[in-house]
Amino acid sequence: MNFPFEEQDNIRIFDQQVDEMELVWHRDREDRIVEALEPTDWMFQLDNNLPQRLEKIFIPKDTYHRVIKGSGNLKVKVTKL
């Protein structure tokens, strides 16, 4: 499976050139905390919620969510709980 990011040591980098069509709604099998490591205008959206700034987000397992593309690269730390 291809992912729209590169990952190393729980750090994910989404390139500014990523096609927005690759940033699909999805869900994960475990709770997670996603934290932006640099200031960004990329957004985050949980199912049935408005988009919000991507700073530090708790994502409950089996909850649909997505990333909304902004400008520049996005660098986040993903902690699986």
Q: pLDDT tens digits, residue range 51-73?
A: 999 999 999 999 999 999 999 99
Q: Is 3 part of any domain?
A: no
Q: Is 39 part of any domain?
A: yes
Q: Is 58 part of any domain?
A: yes
pLDDT tens-digit readout, 14-45:
999 999 999 999 999 999 999 999 999 999 99
As for how many domains the chain has, the answer is 1
With helix as H, strand as E and coil as C, how does 10-61 read? CEEEECCCCCHHHCCCECCCCCEEEEECCCCCCEEEECCCCCEECCEEEECC
- Residue 61's domain comprises 10-80
CATH number at residue 20: 2.60.120.10
The first and second tokens of residue 15, run together, are 């390139």
Q: Is 2 part of any domain?
A: no
Query: pTM of the full predicted structure?
Result: 0.90
Q: Is 14 part of any domain?
A: yes
Q: Is 5 part of any domain?
A: no
